[in-house]
Chains A and B, each alone.
Chain A
Amino acid sequence: MDERKTVLKLSDITMQFGGVVAVDNLNLEVHKNEIVGLIGPNGAGKTTAFNCITGVYEPTNGSIEINGNVVIENHPQGKMKDTYKGRNQGKYTNTLTMLPDKVTKLGVARTFQNIRLFKGMTVLENVMVAMHMNQSESVFGATFRSRKARTEEHSMREEALKLLKKVDLYENRDDLSTSLPYGKQRHLEIARALATHPSILLLDEPAAGMNPQESDDLMNFIGRIRDEFDLSILMIEHHMQVIMGICEHIYVLNYGGQIADGTPEEIQSNPAVIEAYLGGDE
């Protein structure tokens, strides 16, 4: 198996909303500098899995390790004890929750399926917002422009500009974020995620709505930032060309459950995957 260090590990993650099991017993590992794909038909629970990792949802059961530490863990409680339909009930006993901003501070950054840029702000400001959490000046110091606030602001601006140069958005730095063309908005969202200094990057359908040429560029771009920023990447994607092109390991979900995992070649010839995507024989 893979000798590299595991940076993100999901164990038995189950997310149940009322009577609906959106993610059912998902086990997933991302190793250092690996690009991992998460695929599945619509409604398979991919984005829900992302929301569990980033702390938007509290999983019903299971645990999540980031860089070797368990940061999120839960087990069915209260009413859920009786209505729980998943497996491994009783295996976990702790309750650890984490808000999305804390998860981001641990080095997990994400992008969104439907672009969520800050509309009223320029490209540069969008990136600088992501650096806000790393500055240490108090609100008083920042308001009255203390020496520390000024140096921090200056270094934030320099770093943001450097980052924008790397993602080819330097010329657009003073444009409103929403005035950018679609492909560049995607790039900006990734740049904004990179500004939080992540070690793990979660990309939610980065190639959605892109033509083949743009998807090719995106594949190169993702490979490039992985090397340049020393990242491990977990991505949800529907474009098979992109997934098969850059992912080293792929997990397939269907109806919340995990139906396969393996290298792109294995996945392509896996009968369960073909059945999920194309429908089985009658």
Chain B
Amino acid sequence: MEVRLNKKTKSVLSAVCIALFLIFVYFGDIMISPGSSWKMLITVIEKGSIYALVAASMNLLNGFTGLFSLGQAGFMLIGAYTYAIFTIPADSHDKVYQYFDGGLIKWSIVEILEGKMGVLGHYLGMFIPMIGAGLLVAVIAFLIGIPVLRLKSDYLAIATLGFAEILRAFFQWNTLGPVTNGSNVLRKYTTYNNAVFPVLVSGICIAIIVLLINSTYGRAFRSIRDDEIAAEAMGINLFRHKQTSFIISSFFAGISGALLAMFQTTINATPFNTVMTYEILLIVVIGGIGSITGSIIGAFLFTAASEWWLRGLDAGRWLGISASFMRPGFRKVVFAVLIMLIVLFYSRGIMGDREFSWDGFLTWCRNLPANIKAWPEKHKAKSAARKEARAAKAAAKAKAKQAKADSEARKASGEALFTPLPVADHVVVFDKEGK
């Protein structure tokens, strides 16, 4: 059974779902009291949407252009710092930059614009540094890309990882203290006041990534992923297209870094390390390399698991079980085991390289009861087949054993092991000269 909806119904459905979700997030954030355990849901949606954006940007690179890059955390770091540095209110500078005489930049874009345009200026003041963060990251990606993108596969991963680590060390450098506050935290910068903000910004950015993937450039990226040599022979300039993909991916990583800064309210360069890159890679792999839908689902699942469902593993009590080995850090062990299991048995991830579509979703929903009903039968058939295979294997083994015993017996009795080939009655000899 297949469901097919017309285009208009689909867009109406999508619009309604998105609107309902945004309304839910907006009022959820206002209404749910901070003490309630449901507040966690809103937190997961906030952080999940930020991770969804960075995972989608990483997927654009790894899953759609075939560039195995591990620099995402480094780019997020630049984005987060750029946003924070330009939005710390003027009178907080002395407190934040207490070791660096109040820092070098003594103004905040948000305050300047708010003073001129009111509420509109406030949001404009948040957007400008956010976009600026993205653009700065894009410029840095352009510079890094010139040497690095000539490398292939694993070497590219090593080089980008190295650059990300260098960036982290650079931002903690004491000499840059008046700007980056050295190894101290940046805080008191302007943040959003409702969870709907990161959801909306991430949503728009992901939509742009999807539009790019479905354009002619997206097709060119995918051709590079599938076969570089053939893509080049089709007139696609490899370096320019890789560079474009790298810059765009980094731009969105920068935006998500700015959003993460807002979410955390304080930032420091330390957590933007390889572990963070691997978390993002984990999301991409769980969701499916080459599927934006997968990255979104993976991001929310990962965030929910690490922030909410598996919290108990670190605290010593989870689902009513308490054990002495559930100490801080045990959650990471569970994640490590999970990724091993996924890579071994489910390497295509949740979505593989498919994307969400209303037709596919509704067909799946409609067939779900039938599939569940058919499941025991399928299981039975499978186990029967397995039993049969086992029996056949045993039979073959017994036969081989028998054959071996026979040959041994024959050898012992002195019988010839091989029957000689039949000799031809007459032999024709071909002469080279043909005589």
Contacts and interface: CB of A to CB of B under 8 A. Distances in A.
Interface of A: 54, 56, 99-101, 104-105, 109-110, 112, 116-121, 125, 128-130, 132-135, 137, 139, 142-145, 149, 152-153, 156, 192-193, 195-196
B235 A144 contact: no
A119 B216 contact: no
B227 interface: yes
A101 B238 contact: yes
A193 B232 CA distance: 12
B353 A129 contact: no
Interface stretch (B114-122, B153-161, B174-182, B217-225): B217-225
Contacts of A56: 229
A135 B232 contact: no
A112 B236 contact: no
Contacts of A117: 226-227, 230
B248 interface: yes
Shortest 5 CB-CB contacts between residues of A and residues of B: A133-B235, A104-B235, A118-B226, A116-B230, A142-B215
B248 A139 contact: yes
A139 B236 CA distance: 14
B229 to A, nearest CB: 6
A113 B233 CA distance: 13
B215 A143 contact: yes
B234 interface: yes
Interface in B339-361: 353
B236 A128 contact: no
Given A56-B229, A116-B227, A118-B230, A101 B215 contact: no
Nearest to B237: A101
Contact of A139 (B223, B227, B229, B244): B244
A145 B217 contact: no
Contact of B222 (A99, A118, A145, A156): A118
B271 to A, nearest CB: 32
B290 interface: yes
6 contacts: A104-B232, A104-B233, A118-B226, A142-B215, A143-B212, A192-B234
A134 B236 CA distance: 10
Given A101-B236, A110-B233, A118 B223 contact: yes
A153 B216 contact: yes
B235 A130 contact: yes
A132 B220 contact: yes
Q: Chain B interface: which size bin? A: 20 to 34
A121 B224 CA distance: 12
Contact of A116 (B219, B229, B290): B229
B217 A129 contact: no
B216 A135 contact: yes
A193 to B, nearest CB: 8
B212 to A, nearest CB: 4
Given A116-B229, A120-B222, A120-B226, A105 B212 contact: no
Contacts of B391: none
Most-contacted residue by chain B among A100, A110, A121, A145 (CB, 10 A): A100
Contacts of A156: 216
Contacts of B244: 139
Given A54-B233, A101-B236, A128-B219, 19 more contacts: A100-B232, A101-B235, A112-B233, A116-B227, A116-B230, A116-B233, A117-B230, A119-B226, A120-B353, A128-B216, A129-B231, A129-B234, A133-B234, A134-B235, A142-B216, A145-B215, A149-B215, A152-B216, A153-B215
Interface in B388-425: none
Contact of B219 (A100, A101, A132, A192): A132
Contact of B233 (A109, A120, A132, A142): A109
Nearest to A130: B234
B211 interface: yes
A139 B243 CA distance: 12
Interface in B301-348: none
A255 to B, nearest CB: 26
Contacts of B234: 101, 104, 129-130, 132-133, 192, 195-196
A100 B220 CA distance: 15
A94 to B, nearest CB: 23
Contacts of B220: 129, 132
B211 A145 contact: yes
Contacts of A109: 233
A129 B233 contact: no
B235 A105 contact: yes
Contacts of B230: 112, 116-118
Nearest to A126: B223
A17 to B, nearest CB: 18
A144 B211 CA distance: 7
Most-contacted residue by chain A among B222, B230, B236 (CB, 10 A): B230
A26 B380 CA distance: 66
B110 to A, nearest CB: 28
B232 A139 contact: no
B146 interface: no
Interface in B241-258: 244, 248
B208 interface: yes
Nearest to B219: A129
A143 B60 CA distance: 14
A143 B237 CA distance: 19
A163 B374 CA distance: 45
A101 B212 contact: no
A101 B290 CA distance: 25
Interface string B142-168: 000000000000000000000000000
A143 B211 contact: yes
B211 A125 contact: no
B336 to A, nearest CB: 30
